[in-house]
């Protein structure tokens, strides 16, 4: 019975881990080459068209592109990498953080 409970708990955890989160997730991408806002307009143009993205912010000082995902929707790391490259830049690292989009903007 104890083993059955543990298996059930593990199954439930796995299901929760793979389902889309019910809160907005913030995605931070470190990007090289972003020194000019006029040249980086493609980043805004591309991500604004993605149905899973509700907010985009480009931080030239920290070399970051911040995305806010819509609740229950996800943009994949591959899509992020592809969009940054289509905009003419080189993505270095994509990470999903616990901070809200607004907190991440002001860090």
Give me the residues that bind other proteins (CB under 8 A), please.
Answer: 31-43, 45-46, 57-61, 63, 85-90
* Closer by beta carbon to other proteins, 21 or else 54: 54
* Closer by beta carbon to other proteins, 8 or else 107: 107
Question: Which region holds residue 72: left if phi is over 0, alpha if psi is between -120 and 50, else beta?
Answer: left
3-state helix, strand, coil in the chain (%, to 5): 40, 25, 35
User: Are 69 and 77 a contacting pair, CB within 8 Å?
Assistant: no
Question: How far apart are CB 90 and other proteins at their closest, in Å?
Answer: 4
Question: How far apart are CB 82 and other proteins at their closest, in Å?
Answer: 10
* Closer by beta carbon to other proteins, 41 or else 76: 41
Return the bridge partners of 69, or none.
53
User: Are 101 and 66 a contacting pair, CB within 8 Å?
Assistant: yes
Question: How far apart are CB 38 and other proteins at their closest, in Å?
Answer: 4
């Amino acid at each position: 019975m104890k083993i059955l409970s543990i298996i059930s708990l593990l199954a439930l955890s796995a299901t929760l881990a793979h389902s889309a989160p019910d809160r907005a997730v913030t995605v931070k991408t470190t990007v090289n080459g972003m020194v000019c806002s006029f040249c980086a307009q493609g980043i805004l143009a591309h991500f604004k068209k993605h149905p899973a993205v509700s907010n985009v912010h480009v931080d030239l000082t920290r070399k970051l592109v911040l995305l806010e995902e819509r609740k229950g929707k996800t943009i994949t790391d591959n899509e992020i990498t592809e969009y940054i490259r289509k905009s003419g830049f080189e993505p270095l690292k994509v990470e999903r953080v616990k901070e809200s989009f607004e907190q991440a903007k002001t860090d």
